[in-house]
Amino acid sequence: DAKTTQPTSMDCAEGRAANLPCNHSTISGNEYVYWYRQIHSQGPQYIIHGLKNNETNEMASLIITEDRKSSTLILPHATLRDTAVYYCIVRPGGLYNFNKFYFGSGTKLNVKP
Amino acid sequence: GAVVSQHPSWVICKSGTSVKIECRSLDFQATTMFWYRQFPKQSLMLMATSNEGSKATYEQGVEKDKFLINHASLTLSTLTVTSAHPEDSSFYICSARGTGNVVGEKLFFGSGTQLSVL
């Protein structure tokens, strides 16, 4: 059962930052926020995850609100290859509980030239 | 690192036949693997959890006798769709959780298998 809410689709101009929101208002204290993306007819690709603090890696930044009820994935300079469905997932922490890794409907990001 | 290889990428079979899909962790040991199914324009749905050396755990509504899972080694899990029917046509995706503190926090996914049953 997905515990997140995301917009169905978003458009972004190539070269601009893409900001993808996610609502997870029922998140528990030990649950992490994960972001994956799925390019058409491929398996999901890990992007980033976090618990409380904002996180950044070579792909994206993750901004989590102080109350942890929502987060935003930021792709700093979107390219056409970033066109994909982006999934925000909430999962209990630890090395287990991956059977509770539920995918919601995700956000289809369309990057346009 | 942390590559999951899934084979075949696509398969077409006749109704009533069985199809085996392999999922391999190439550069890490996967004590637990997961199998998902995805219908067109829908999200991924978890089918079962595969644990090395033990029986798989199936999600509610998934027929264990129809979707046979074997996880005989730390790097290989197989999903066999038995007596396949057209309604089993779908995109099947495996994922693996590695060992170790860092790798273990993430799931790594295979590239998926498109099954078409005629």
Q: Mind listing the pLDDT tens digit of every residue in chain A (113 residues)?
A: 558 999 999 999 999 999 999 999 999 888 899 999 999 889 999 999 999 989 999 999 999 999 999 999 999 999 999 999 999 999 877 666 666 678 888 999 999 99
A16: closest CA of chain B, how far (Å): 27
How far, in Å, CA of B82 to CA of B78, rounded? 12
pLDDT tens string B58-102: 999 999 999 999 988 889 999 999 999 999 999 999 999 866 655
Contacts with B117 (C-beta within 8 Å, 6 or more apart), sequence order: B12, B13, B14, B15, B84, B85, B86, B87, B88, B89
pLDDT attached to residue B104: 61
B43 with A101: Cβ contact below 8 A: no
Q: How confident is the model at residue B113 (pLDDT cuts 50, 70, 90)?
A: very high
| Chain B contact set for A106 (CB, 8 A) | 43
Residues in B touching A39 (Cβ below 8 Å):
none
Q: What is the pLDDT of residue A87?
A: 96
User: Is the pLDDT reported for residue B114 higher than 90?
Assistant: yes
**Phi, psi (5° rounding) for residue A99?**
-75, -5
The closest CB to that of B34, out of A38, A95, A98, belongs to A98
pLDDT of residue A96: 65
Q: pLDDT-derived band of residue B2, with 50, 70 and 90 as boundaries?
A: confident
The verdict on B80 touching A (C-beta cutoff 8 Å) is: no
Can you give the pLDDT at residue B102?
Answer: 55
Write out the two tokens for B88: 């089993």
Nearest to B107 among A42, A101, A104 (CB): A101
Which of B104, B108, B112 is nearest residue A42 as measured by Cβ atoms? B112
Per residue, what are the HEC states of chain B?
CCCEEEECCEEEECCCCCEEEEEEECCCCEEEEEEEEECCCCCCEEEEEEECCCCCEECCCCCCCCEEEEEEECCEEEEEECCCCHHHCEEEEEEEEECCCCHHHCEEECCCEEEEEC
Tell which wins on pLDDT, B113 or B107: B113
B113 reaches A (C-beta below 8 A): no
CB contacts < 8 Å between A and B, how many? 54
SS3 for A13?
strand
What is residue A95's predicted lDDT score, i.e. its pLDDT?
60
**Cβ neighbours of A105 in B, within 8 Å:** 43
Give chain A's mean pLDDT. 91
What is the structure's pLDDT at B14? Answer: 96
Q: Do B109 and A106 touch (CB under 8 A)?
A: no
pLDDT of res. B99 = 65
pLDDT at B30: 84
Distances in Å between the Cα of B104 and the Cα atoms of A113, B44, B100 are: 37, 21, 5
Give the Cα separation of A73 and A92 in Å (integer): 19
- CA A21, A41, A101: angle at the middle one, nearest 5? 50
- Residue B100 has a pLDDT of 63
Residues B3-58: tens digit of each pLDDT:
899 999 999 999 999 999 999 999 888 888 999 999 998 999 999 998 888 889 99
Q: How many angstroms away from the CA of A76 is the closest CA of chain B? A: 23
The H or E element containing residue A111 is: strand A107-112
